[in-house]
Amino acid sequence: MQTNISETMTPVERRAAASLASIYALRMLGLFMILPVFALYAEHLAGVTPTLVGVALGIYGLTQAVLQIPFGMVSDRIGRKPVITAGLLIFALGSVVAAMSGTIQGVIIGRALQGAGAVAAVVLALAADLTREEHRLKVMAGIGISIGISFSVALVAGPMLEHWIGVPGIFWLTAVMALGGIGVLQLWVPRPTHLHLHRDTEAVPEQFREVLSNGQLLRLDFGIFALHMALTAIFVVVPHILRDSVGMPVNHHWHIYLPVMLVAFVAMVPFIIIAEKKRRMKQVLSGAILGLGLSMIGMWLSHDNIIGIVLALLLFFTTFNLLEATLPSLIAKTAPAWSKGTAMGVYSSSQFLGAFAGGFMGGWLNGRFGITGVFLFSALVAGVWFWLAVTMREPRYLSSYLINVGAIDTARAEQLTRELLAEQGVEEAVVLADDGVAYLKVDPERIDAAALAGYSSESER
């Protein structure tokens, strides 16, 4: 059986992948750059309290969580580019409001507006519109990598930029980057010829009940909630530790973040290989969660010792990066292929809610109990997550696989489902006539890719 399906992305697909990844990265870079510097800047704002500092750090997560799925649904009706443009304008407006505010309440409003520009899901939907099913995972992986890079760059760039232009300047720069993202969207991102509902990348309302009743998925949702709660909570206090306990000026904090992030990225790679190639996902996940909790205890015990705090931060960011990479893979393995988009939507909302909860709880605990309360609370949450992880079922090492089968009727869809289930390595299959797509869960070590490609509407039989 021969096919004419291209094994490489077309120039349009490559352009879409690069441009959308840059838009996503610019937005996340703007959100993350104030993390390592804001707690110190906020000391000079009118009306500041420890709790409000945390709220200002995390409030973007609340508005993002509430609005990202509705924005995606609106984009199904009126188009992706108008919604992304509007979202980036709201994000830029929030950055300007935060930059011009001399009160903590004003910054909170600005940060809430930044989160209200909730275009993450719409960007992924547009990426799906512009890429064929067989290349979509590559594009989504590229966008995911861009997020990780933007986070690392933000931790290093934030302290540097604070020295040169101050935190208001960072907010102004963030607004400029958002406007630059609009330029990239309008001038570089291809225009899709058709809008489709992509069940592998978008939330489908009728699937929420199924996803929210899946105990294994809920464990993973709690995991990303806890991870980002810990991340935001520690940045309520770590800048103070580095300045006050260790005696390091804020513009030198990048001297710690840069080597820590570089080593953390290298250190996590062997564990990802063990998790995926050696099929030890549950063991690696549980170990990383345990390491996360220990890093919190390490920060608490060694907060006045530069070597101790560096080692604790190294453990934290190694486990954070490892978990950030592992959890989406587990969602993809656990969720049925035809409801993966809904599962990822709930997962993403849980992540942003975790950022808000971490900011609020970190600020409140810091004001009430000091750094001890922040770190011990985060360690306790990690302990709960560890219990959920060790009691979860061993994941099936299956991958999502999509095939565009073209316009077919219901009878043909049912026939194709039976045929696909008979193929080697195919564990789950649903062909939806309305979508014209076959949603599969496959064992990547056993599938016959050429045989599956023959089912595509683009193949020559």
Instruction: Render pLDDT for 373-408 as a digit per residue (tens, 0 to 9).
Output: 999 999 999 999 999 999 999 998 988 888 888 888
40-74 pLDDT, tens digit per residue, is 999 999 999 999 999 999 999 999 999 999 999 99
Please say if the pLDDT value at position 461 is more than 80: no
pLDDT for 242 equals 96
Neighbour-count burial for 138-153, b at 16+ CB within 10 Å, e otherwise: ebbebbeebbbebbbb
Please say if the pLDDT value at position 33 is more than 80: yes
pLDDT for 330 equals 94
pLDDT for 161 equals 96
pLDDT for 2 equals 34
User: Which of 100-114, 170-184, 303-317, 420-434 has the lowest average pLDDT?
Assistant: 420-434
| Domains contained in the chain, CATH given | 9-202 (1.20.1250.20), 211-395 (1.20.1250.20), 399-453 (3.30.70.100)
223-271 pLDDT, tens digit per residue, is 999 999 999 999 999 999 999 999 999 999 999 999 999 999 999 999 9
Distances (CA, A) of 273 to 128, 281, 309, 331: 27, 10, 28, 18
pLDDT for 196 equals 75
- What is the helix (H) or strand (E) element at residue 457, kind and residue range? none
- pLDDT band at residue 7 using 50, 70 and 90 as cut-offs: low
143-162 pLDDT, tens digit per residue, is 888 888 999 999 999 999 99
pLDDT for 4 equals 39
Please say if the pLDDT value at position 1 is more than 50: no
287-340 pLDDT, tens digit per residue, is 999 999 999 999 999 999 999 999 999 999 999 999 999 999 999 899 988 898
What type of residue sits at position 414?
E
pLDDT for 454 equals 87
The C-alpha angle with vertex 92 and arms to 86 and 95, in degrees rounded to 5, equals 145
Please say if the pLDDT value at position 425 is more than 50: yes
pLDDT for 55 equals 98
Please say if the pLDDT value at position 200 is more than 90: no
Please provide the average confidence, as pLDDT, over all residues in the chain: 92
State the helix-helix crossing angle for 281-301 and 254-277, rounded to 10 degrees.
Answer: 160
Residue scoring higher pLDDT (135 or 27) = 27
Mean pLDDT of the region 426-448 = 89
Using a cut of 0.85, tell me whether the model's pTM lies above it.
yes
User: Which of 92-96, 198-202, 211-215 has the lowest average pLDDT?
Assistant: 198-202
Please say if the pLDDT value at position 459 is more than 60: no
Q: Which of 68, 23, 27 is nearest to 346 (CA)?
A: 68
269 Cβ neighbours under 8 A, 6+ residues apart = none
Q: Which of 211, 229, 237 is nearest to 65 (CA)?
A: 229
